Amino acid sequence: MDIVILAVVIAVVVLGALGGLIVGSRRKKPLPPPPPAAPDITAPPTEPHVGEEAETPREEPRRTIEEVDLPGGPAPVVVEEPPTVEAPPIEIPEPTAGRLIRLRARLSRSQNALGKGLLTLLSREHLDEDTWEEIEDTLLTADVGVQPTQELVERLRERVRVLGTRTPEELRGLLRQELITLVGPEMDRTVHTENAAGGPGIVMVVGVNGTGKTTTTGKLARVLVADGNTVVLGAADTFRAAAADQLQTWAERVGAHTVRGPEGGDPASVAFDAVKEGKEMAADAVLIDTAGRLHTKTGLMDELGKVKRVVEKQAPLDEVLLVLDATTGQNGLIQARVFAEVVDITGIVLTKLDGTAKGGIVIAVQRELGVPVKLIGLGEGADDLAPFEPEAFVDALLGD
Ligand SMILES: Nc1nc2c(ncn2[C@@H]2O[C@H](COP(=O)(O)OP(=O)(O)OP(=O)(O)O)[C@@H](O)[C@H]2O)c(=O)[nH]1
């Protein structure tokens, strides 16, 4: 019996073990299928990630292109940029009052050698003949001109002799007075930009190209706008399109209006239109920038003469400003002579005084033309044009 029971138990155990094996093998079989999901093997861990990441950027450009296409090409990008360019439209120029004081440091820097040189020579214990000659040379080197130099030296000699013993302060005072006298404090340096008859003041700006004529016209427009005037600019320098562009840029910066013609067009007709528009707009001033090439004197005469005649058909010229580059020294004087023969110069603008130690040209050119220096250029900056003031000029020369 026991044997029978034992046989049954063994049979049950054996069957149970076999059943477990069968179930186990059945469980393992479904597992292999996952391996076939082995395409993962073709795409090793890194690649699928790259693929997944790549999908996102791919979608982004597609969206952008769609968005750009729909509103009409790349226009939105272009439209967004111009407002930033147009953003700084109208500037408020610095007031003109006290400009020379602000720019005095620049003037001192360029002209101080002259003043210092003279003061050093004058403070020598013995003012002998050699010293006076050195004083003369210093003045001549600074382009003061022969006649004015001799006058200054004579007057100084006389005053030093009368004074007897002298302190550096006294000498400085004497020199200051004599220099101011030489520069001409009594000259009327008003830039006439108003018209007595009530129309716009008409200013013609002449000078050789490169002297800073266009820049000066632009700077002057700023000065006038700063003082509350409305200004029209006439780009009658039609020889170079860039000159008209340059002028227009200056005008746009302060909200002034520009009248221009085609490149190579008739300068007189641009000047005419500028005055006409200035009158129609009831502007306060019309500034006309001319080309004034010194190819031949006859050519210059023809051109400027015609501009002048045509403008004066509508209104008289209130101011004719001659722009001279202070760094050109004697050349500037020759130019001044030629222009003075062609048009009636009423004022001189001396540019680039920040770039030369030869500030004496102020004195020489006034003597040459009998016309006052009214404005001076002391840098390339938009507000680096100042009314000329003899005292401030001489003080900058002598330093503090
Ligand atoms: N340092 C300095 N540079 C100046 C001054 N005035 C003008 N300039 C520079 O001189 C150069 C010539 O100036 P323009 O105004 O173009 O001369 P332009 O006589 O009108 O010559 P075109 O434009 O050819 O008719 C420019 O680079 C100006 O910035 C000044 O007072 N000081």
Contacts of 231 (CB under 8 A, 6+ apart): 221, 224, 225, 251, 254, 256, 257, 283, 284, 285, 286, 287
**215 CA distance to ligand 1 centroid (A)?**
5
Q: Give me the residue label for tokens 């004083």.
A: 135
Q: Which of ligand 1's atoms lies nearest the C-alpha of 218?
A: 15
Residue 243 has pLDDT above 60, yes or no: yes
Nearest atom, ligand 1, residue 246 CA: 23
Q: Specify the ligand 1 atom closest to the Cα of 355.
A: 1
Average pLDDT over residues 115-136: 91
Model pLDDT, residue 331: 86
Average pLDDT over residues 128-151: 94
User: Can you give the pLDDT at residue 248?
Assistant: 93
Grade residue 83 by pLDDT with cuts at 50, 70 and 90: low
Please say if the pLDDT value at position 49 is more than 50. no
**pLDDT confidence of residue 183:** 96
Tell me, in angstroms, the distance from the centre of ligand 1 to residue 211's CA.
6
Instruction: Name the residue of 380, 383, 384, 388 whose CB sits within 8 Å of the most ligand 1 atoms, as the mutation to test its pocket.
Output: 380
**Residue 200 DSSP class:** B
> Does the pLDDT at position 189 exceed 70?
yes
Question: In this structure, what token pair is assigned to residue 325?
Answer: 């580059």
Q: Bigger pLDDT: 122 or 13?
A: 122
Closest-CA residue, ligand 1 atom 1, reads 379
Ligand 1 pocket: which of 111, 204, 205, 215 to mutate (most atoms within 8 A of CB): 215
3 state DSSP class of 326? helix
Quick one: pLDDT band at residue 294, thresholds 50, 70, 90?
A: low
Q: Mean pLDDT throughout 300-327?
A: 91
Q: Which pLDDT value is given to residue 240?
A: 79
pLDDT over threshold 50, residue 62: no
ipTM of predicted complex:
0.94
Looking only at the bridges linking them, the beta strands covering 257-260 and 373-377 are unpaired
Closest-CA residue, ligand 1 atom 23, reads 243
Check whether 281 has a pLDDT greater than 90: yes
Name the closest-CA residue to atom 26, ligand 1. 212
300 vs 214, which has greater pLDDT? 214
Sign of CA dihedral 321, 325, 329, 335: negative
pLDDT of residue 81: 57
Q: Name all residues whose Cβ lies below 6 A of ligand 1.
A: 207, 209-215, 237, 240, 243, 246, 351-352, 354-355, 377-380, 384
Give me the percent of the chain exceeding a pLDDT of 70. Answer: 76
Model pLDDT, residue 32 = 34
Sequence ranges of the binding site for GTP: 207-214, 289-293, 351-354
Helix axes 146-163, 168-183, angle to 10 degrees: 150
Confidence of residue 20 (pLDDT cuts 50, 70, 90): very low
State mean pLDDT over 343-356: 94
Tokens representing 285?
Answer: 């001033």
Which amino acid, one-letter code, is at 41? I
| 8 Å CB contact between 103 and 374 | no
Segment 204-217, tens digit of pLDDT: 999 988 899 999 99
Mean pLDDT over each residue of the chain, to the nearest integer = 79
> 357-381, pLDDT tens digit by residue?
888 999 999 999 999 999 999 999 8
Distance 184 CA to ligand 1 centre (A): 27
pLDDT of residue 23: 37
